[in-house]
A and B are shown apart, each in its own frame.
Chain A
Amino acid sequence: MSNIPADLKYTKSHEWVRTLANGNVEIGITDHAQGALGDLVFVEVPEAGKSLKAGDAFAVVESVKAASDVYAPIAGSVLEGNPSLTGSPELINSEPYGAGWIARMKPNGAPAGLLSAAEYQAHLAAEG
Chain B
Amino acid sequence: MSPFLPAFFIGDARSHPEKILGRRTPLYDLHVSLGARMVDFGGWDMPVNYGSQIEEHHAVRRDAGVFDVSHMCVIDARGARVREFLSKLVANDVAKLKSSGKALYSCMLNEQGGVIDDLIIYFIDESFFRIVVNAGTRDKDLAWMRKVAAPFGVKLTERTDLAMLAVQGPNARDRVAELLPGEHRAAALALEVFAGGQLGHWFVARTGYTGEDGFEIMLPADEAAGVWRALNARGVKSAGLGARDTLRLEAAMNLYGNDMDENQNPLESGLAWTVSFEDPGRDFIGRKALESLKSSGLGKKLVALVLDDRGVLRGHQKVVAAAGDGEITSGTFSPTMEKSIALARVPRDTGATVQVDVRGKLLNARVVKAPFVRKGQVLVS
A interface, CB within 8 angstroms of B:
13-15, 29-30, 33, 35-39, 41-42, 44, 60-71, 93, 125, 128
Is B4 among interface residues, defined by CB-CB distance under 8 A? yes
Q: B2 near A69 (CB under 8 angstroms)?
A: yes
Question: How far is B2's CA from A29's CA once the two chains are assembled, in angstroms?
Answer: 10
Chain A's nearest CB lies how many Å from the CB of B256? 18
> Binary interface profile of B, 1-27, with partner A (CB < 8 Å = 1, else 0)?
111111001111001101000000000
Q: B48 near A66 (CB under 8 angstroms)?
A: no
- What would 7 more interface pairs be, CB under 8 Å, given A13-B1, A68-B3? A37-B3, A38-B48, A38-B52, A65-B9, A67-B4, A67-B314, A68-B1
Question: How far is B48's CA from A37's CA once the two chains are assembled, in angstroms?
Answer: 11
Partner of A69 from the list B4, B16, B37, B242 (CB cut-off 8 Å) is B4
Is B335 among interface residues, defined by CB-CB distance under 8 A? yes
Q: B53 near A67 (CB under 8 angstroms)?
A: no
Q: Which residues of A contact B324 (CB under 8 A)?
A: none
Beyond A38-B53, A39-B53, A41-B333, is A66–B3 a contact (Cβ under 8 Å)?
Answer: yes
Q: A38 near B1 (CB under 8 angstroms)?
A: no
Beyond A69-B2, A71-B1, is A128–B54 a contact (Cβ under 8 Å)?
Answer: no
Question: How far is B341's CA from A64's CA once the two chains are assembled, in angstroms?
Answer: 11
Q: Which residues of B contact A36 (CB under 8 A)?
A: 3, 10-12
Q: B1 near A69 (CB under 8 angstroms)?
A: yes
Beyond A61-B1, A64-B333, A66-B5, is A38–B242 a contact (Cβ under 8 Å)?
Answer: yes
> Binary interface profile of B, 233-252, with partner A (CB < 8 Å = 1, else 0)?
00000000010011000000
Question: How far is B319's CA from A88's CA once the two chains are assembled, in angstroms?
Answer: 28
Question: How far is B52's CA from A30's CA once the two chains are assembled, in angstroms?
Answer: 17
Partner of B333 from the list A15, A60, A62, A71 (CB cut-off 8 Å) is A62
Q: Which residues of A contact B312 (CB under 8 A)?
A: 41-42, 62, 67
Closest B residue by C-beta to A34? B1
Question: How far is B312's CA from A68's CA once the two chains are assembled, in angstroms?
Answer: 12
Question: How far is B3's CA from A60's CA once the two chains are assembled, in angstroms?
Answer: 10
Chain B's nearest CB lies how many Å from the CB of A31? 12
5 residue pairs from A and B, CB less than 8 Å apart: A38-B37, A39-B54, A41-B312, A65-B9, A65-B245
Q: A65 near B1 (CB under 8 angstroms)?
A: no
Question: How far is B11's CA from A60's CA once the two chains are assembled, in angstroms?
Answer: 19
Closest A residue by C-beta to B335? A64
Q: A64 near B242 (CB under 8 angstroms)?
A: yes
Beyond A42-B310, A71-B1, is A65–B242 a contact (Cβ under 8 Å)?
Answer: yes
> Binary interface profile of B, 35-46, with partner A (CB < 8 Å = 1, else 0)?
001000000000
Q: Which residues of B contact A39 (CB under 8 A)?
A: 52-54
Chain A's nearest CB lies how many Å from the CB of B186? 38
Q: A66 near B6 (CB under 8 angstroms)?
A: yes
Q: B48 near A70 (CB under 8 angstroms)?
A: no
Beyond A38-B48, A41-B312, A42-B312, is A67–B5 a contact (Cβ under 8 Å)?
Answer: yes
Beyond A38-B53, A128-B15, is A15–B4 a contact (Cβ under 8 Å)?
Answer: no
Q: A64 near B4 (CB under 8 angstroms)?
A: no
Beyond A60-B359, A64-B335, A65-B53, is A71–B2 a contact (Cβ under 8 Å)?
Answer: yes
Chain B's nearest CB lies how many Å from the CB of A122? 13
Question: How far is B3's CA from A37's CA once the two chains are assembled, in angstroms?
Answer: 8
Q: B11 near A38 (CB under 8 angstroms)?
A: no
Chain A's nearest CB lies how many Å from the CB of B16? 5
Chain B's nearest CB lies how many Å from the CB of A92? 10
Q: Which of B45-72 contact A (CB under 8 A)?
A: 48-49, 52-54, 57
Q: A33 near B1 (CB under 8 angstroms)?
A: yes
Is B332 among interface residues, defined by CB-CB distance under 8 A? yes
Beyond A41-B312, A42-B311, A42-B333, is A68–B4 a contact (Cβ under 8 Å)?
Answer: yes
Question: How far is B310's CA from A16's CA once the two chains are assembled, in angstroms?
Answer: 26
Question: How far is B300's CA from A48's CA once the two chains are assembled, in angstroms?
Answer: 43
Question: How far is B4's CA from A29's CA once the two chains are assembled, in angstroms?
Answer: 16
> Binary interface profile of B, 171-212, with partner A (CB < 8 Å = 1, else 0)?
000000000000000000000000000000000000000000
Closest B residue by C-beta to A124? B15
Question: How far is B335's CA from A13's CA once the two chains are assembled, in angstroms?
Answer: 28
Closest B residue by C-beta to A14? B1
Question: How far is B314's CA from A38's CA once the two chains are assembled, in angstroms?
Answer: 16
Closest 4 CB pairs of A and B: A66-B5, A41-B333, A14-B1, A39-B54
Chain B's nearest CB lies how many Å from the CB of A27? 11
Chain A's nearest CB lies how many Å from the CB of B286? 33
Q: Which residues of B contact A60 (CB under 8 A)?
A: 359
